[in-house]
Amino acid sequence: MDVLVFGGTSEGRHLVEWLAARGTCDVVACTATAYGASLIARGPHVQTLEGPLATEQKDQLMEEHDFVCIVDATHPYARHISESVANLGERHGVDVVRVVREGARGADGLWTGVADASEAARLLAGTVGNILLTTGSKDLATFTELIPDYVERLYVRVLPVVSSLERTRELGIPASHVIAMQGPFSEQMNRALIEELGIAHLVTKDSGPTGGFDEKVRAARSCGVDLMVIERPEEGPGLLLSEAQHLLEERYGL
């Protein structure tokens, strides 16, 4: 049997490795970046494809394989990708199993929730003090456009890949303000960065326990910095990783 998995998330990687280790199927794993693909363990039952894939490419993939199901383990903020995966399954009559990530449980005054990067940037423009941005490179332009003194105040933590570093250079972010590292990070690492860089404001997404969210919350709280969280877009129903594994085992014999 063949299984199609979308997602360079930690859940996606764990699922691919779990399926490969069981040896009950061959897995085609699609990731949005070459970096995401490089993190997936290679094996005789795993084929990786680096995306993003166009609609025609996805349809061709479906025609070339007899997939028993599709697994959507994409990032919780990549709603447009989840929609395209759902449409793919519907077009080809193949079940889609959506893997979701557990989110934060109640702010209790520990952070300020915002709808998107624009709202976060507008609020930060009216503050003083250094900012540590841990939301990746995709929305960097929003912050550099809306925060007038970003060259002095903004520090960014991005993946250690060429595309991310080129993006920071294009936007005029000083190299000394770029931290290129692969997470998730411990509370101690977050706290060390906050203290070393004199951070007053930490911006993150609700990446859940597997994405190091709790460690950032604890570090921000212990250092007394302002924590701003870009809240997740609403998503449909799905299964946690362990639940998805049980379903794949029971329903499809994987």
Tell me the per-residue pLDDT of 86-108, one tens digit each, with 9 for 90 and over. 999 999 999 999 998 776 555 55
Q: What is the pLDDT of residue 36?
A: 80
- Backbone angles phi and psi of 63, in degrees to 5: -75, -30
**Dist. CA 186–CA 134, nearest whole Å:** 14
Say whether pLDDT at 76 is over 90.
no
pLDDT over 90 for what percent of the chain?
A: 66
Instruction: Give residue 79's pLDDT band: very low, low, confident or very high (50, 70, 90).
Output: confident
Q: Outline which parts of the chain fall under CATH 3.40.50.720.
A: 2-100+235-252, 112-230
Identity at 250, one-letter amino acid code:
E
Q: Which amino acid, residue 213?
A: F
pLDDT tier for residue 80 given thresholds of 50, 70 and 90: confident
**How many Cα atoms within 13 Å fall on the side-chain side of residue 173?**
29
Q: Check residue 108 and give its pLDDT.
A: 56
Question: Looking at domain 2-100+235-252, what is its CATH homologous superfamily?
Answer: NAD(P)-binding Rossmann-like Domain (3.40.50.720)
DSSP state of 99: B
Q: How far apart are CA 154 and CA 173, in angstroms?
A: 8
Pick the range with the lowest mean pLDDT from 28-37, 91-100, 179-188, 238-247. Answer: 28-37
- In this structure, which amino acid lies at residue 153? R
Strands (E), the chain: 2-6, 26-31, 46-50, 67-72, 96-98, 112-114, 130-133, 154-158, 178-180, 199-205, 226-230
pLDDT of 212 higher than 80: yes
The residue written with tokens 């946690």 in the block is 240
CATH architecture of 112-230: 3-Layer(aba) Sandwich (3.40)
**Burial state string for 92-131 with b = 16 or more CB within 10 A and e = fewer than 16:** eebebbbbbbeebeeeeeebeebeebebbbebbeeeeebb
Q: How far apart are CA 122 and CA 11, in angstroms?
A: 33
User: Using 50, 70 and 90 to split pLDDT, how confident is the model at 50?
Assistant: confident
